[in-house]
């Protein structure tokens, strides 16, 4: 499986982070050099980089940037402060808190050292980055195996879950890439994914770059495509999966899952184990980010709605486990997910490593 050359996150040998500015895609290919944890947090907040795994990877490198700036033996408060700043950058994707906890574990191991453990922190960040790509390639095959159970079909995806949202290959889009390479899918229907247009600007761009047949449609056309029998699978990513299998994902996923159930379309969620949060019993407790009203009142500089009206702009919603046919993670597939299936899978994924409360340490207690 060839991995496309899209690299949204690159650690540079001179000690800075280079981010592909996803706000400029598809027509402009701009990069942003980040040299501080504050800069990394702002890049996440402003969606220069976005996508649950990519946010965690960026935050991990942000901790390295903080460590590089520490001088002398009293380095730990400065690095811990950076972790707190990074944890406040976005509230829903639990991968952010999972990655920060992994970095904190490195700090704890080296806490008695005279200087900040830059080398160890950089290795930890690089491992998180590399492991995400490896996991995506594994999930790509596991998800494609599910699709292979029946004749090749067209699939639908929402938002962007590709190389731009991860360490490479992608989660849901990684399954689509793998299934396409095995001749298991015939076409991809990409929803534009308002208001930030991740589907139009990012997913359509990724698939077009690789010659995978894609049709872009407005979000509200999804049910018509399903009604016409043009979709075999709805394949989406996740930002946080609760202990009972409820899935927080880009706004619109819940409606798509309801429609899919009505029209007999199967629903697959694809996410690494770092997306699971066993400390959250159900989707009700997942913090849902709301973003700037300007995302609805403006398109670029053009005003497209009265600027003073009330705006509701939640950018995630929660799909109940009962509407999901399969959750694919790097160690296996949870079919017809429920609490027992999730816990069994995550215990397997994480072995003895006590990770369940990973997201709790740094998660902002007052979600938006």
Ligand X SMILES: CSC[C@H]1O[C@H](OP(=O)(O)O)[C@H](O)[C@@H]1O
Is 252 a binder of ligand X (CB under 6 A)?
Answer: no
| Among residues 37, 60, 128, 159, the one that binds ligand X under rule CB under 6 A | 159
Closest approach of Cβ 12 to ligand X, in Å?
A: 23
The residue from 58, 76, 171, 191 that contacts ligand X (CB under 6 A) is 171
Catalytic residue among 239, 246, 277, 317, which?
Answer: 239
Q: Which of 177, 189, 250, 266 binds ligand X (CB under 6 A)?
A: 250
> Across the strands, what pairs with 317?
249
In the list 6, 8, 39, 51, the residue contacting ligand X (rule: CB under 6 A) is 51
Is residue 315 at the binding interface for ligand X, with CB under 6 A as the rule?
yes
Q: In this structure, what DSSP letter does residue 270 have? A: E
Contact flag: residue 166 with ligand X (CB under 6 A)? yes
Q: Is 299 annotated as a binding residue?
A: no
Active site annotation includes 239 = yes
The CA distances from residue 182 to 1, 138, 213, 291, 323, in Å, are 9, 14, 14, 39, 27
Nearer to ligand X, 93 or 342 (CB): 93
Token pair belonging to 340: 């027992």
Minimum CB distance to ligand X, residue 161 (Å): 4
Label the pairing between strands 214-217 and 240-242. Answer: unpaired
54 annotated binding-site participant: no
The answer to whether the CB of 91 falls within 8 A of the CB of 368 is: yes
At residue 126, φ and ψ (nearest 5 deg) are: -65, -35
Which is it for strands 276-277 and 326-329: parallel, antiparallel or unpaired? unpaired
**CB contact burial 86-108 (16+ within 10 A = b; e otherwise):** bbbbbbbbbbbbbbbbbbbebbe
Part in contact with ligand X (CB under 6 A); list of ranges 31-39, 68-76, 148-156, 165-173: 165-173
In whole angstroms, the minimum distance from the beta carbon of 240 to ligand X comes to 9
- Alpha-carbon distance of 153 to 231, in angstroms, equals 7
Contact flags string 176-215 toward ligand X, x per CB under 6 A = ----------------------x-----------------
Which of 6, 165, 243, 268 is in the footprint of ligand X by CB under 6 A?
A: 165
User: What's the min distance (Å) between Cβ of 272 and ligand X?
Assistant: 9
Q: In this complex, which beta carbon is closest to ligand X, that of residue 216 or of residue 315? A: 315
- On whether 50 is known to bind a ligand per the annotation, the reply is yes
Burial string for 237-265 (b: 16+ CB within 10 Å, else e) reads: bbbbbbbbbbbbbbbbbbbbbebbbebeb
Name every residue whose Cβ is closer than 8 Å to that of residue 274 and which is 6 or more positions away in sequence: 53, 56, 94, 95, 98, 99, 132
Is 51 flagged in the annotation as binding? Answer: yes
Active site residues: 239
Q: Interface with ligand X by CB under 6 A: which residues?
A: 50-53, 159, 161, 165-166, 171, 198, 236-237, 239, 249-250, 315
Question: Which residues sit in the known binding site for substrate?
Answer: 50-52, 90, 198, 249-250
């Amino acid at each position: 499986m060839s991995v496309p050359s899209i690299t949204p996150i690159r650690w540079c040998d001179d000690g800075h982070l280079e981010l592909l500015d996803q706000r400029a895609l598809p027509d402009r290919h701009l990069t942003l050099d980040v040299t501080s944890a504050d800069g990394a947090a702002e890049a996440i907040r402003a969606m220069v980089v976005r996508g649950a795994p990519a946010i965690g990877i960026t935050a991990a490198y942000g901790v390295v940037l903080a460590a590089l700036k520490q001088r002398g033996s009293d380095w730990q408060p400065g690095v811990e402060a950076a972790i707190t700043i990074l944890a406040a950058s976005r509230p829903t994707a639990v991968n952010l808190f999972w990655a920060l906890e992994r970095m904190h574990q490195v700090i704890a191991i080296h806490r008695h050292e005279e200087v900040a453990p830059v080398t160890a922190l950089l290795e930890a960040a690089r491992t998180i980055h590399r492991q995400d790509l490896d996991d995506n390639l594994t999930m790509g095959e596991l998800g494609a195996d599910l699709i292979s159970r029946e004749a090749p079909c067209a699939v639908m995806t929402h938002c962007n879950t590709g190389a731009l949202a991860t360490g490479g290959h992608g989660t849901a889009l990684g399954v689509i890439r793998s299934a396409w390479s095995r001749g298991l899918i015939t076409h991809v229907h990409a929803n534009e994914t308002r208001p930030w247009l991740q589907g139009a600007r990012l997913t359509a761009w990724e698939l077009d770059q690789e010659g995978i047949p894609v049709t872009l449609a407005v979000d509200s056309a999804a049910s018509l495509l399903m009604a016409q029998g043009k979709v075999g699978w709805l394949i989406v990513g996740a930002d946080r999966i609760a202990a009972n299998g409820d899935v927080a994902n880009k706004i619109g996923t819940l409606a798509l899952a309801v429609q899919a159930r009505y029209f007999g379309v199967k629903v697959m969620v694809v996410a690494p184990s770092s997306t699971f949060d066993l400390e959250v019993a159900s989707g009700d407790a997942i913090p849902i980010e709301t973003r700037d009203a300007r995302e609805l009142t403006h398109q670029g500089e053009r005003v497209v709605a009265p600027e003073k009206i009330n705006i509701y702009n939640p950018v995630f919603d929660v799909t109940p486990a009962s509407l999901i046919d399969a959750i694919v993670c790097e160690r296996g597939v949870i079919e017809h997910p429920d609490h027992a299936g999730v816990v069994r899978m995550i215990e397997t994924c994480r072995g003895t490593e006590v990770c369940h409360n990973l997201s709790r340490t740094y998660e902002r207690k007052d979600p938006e």
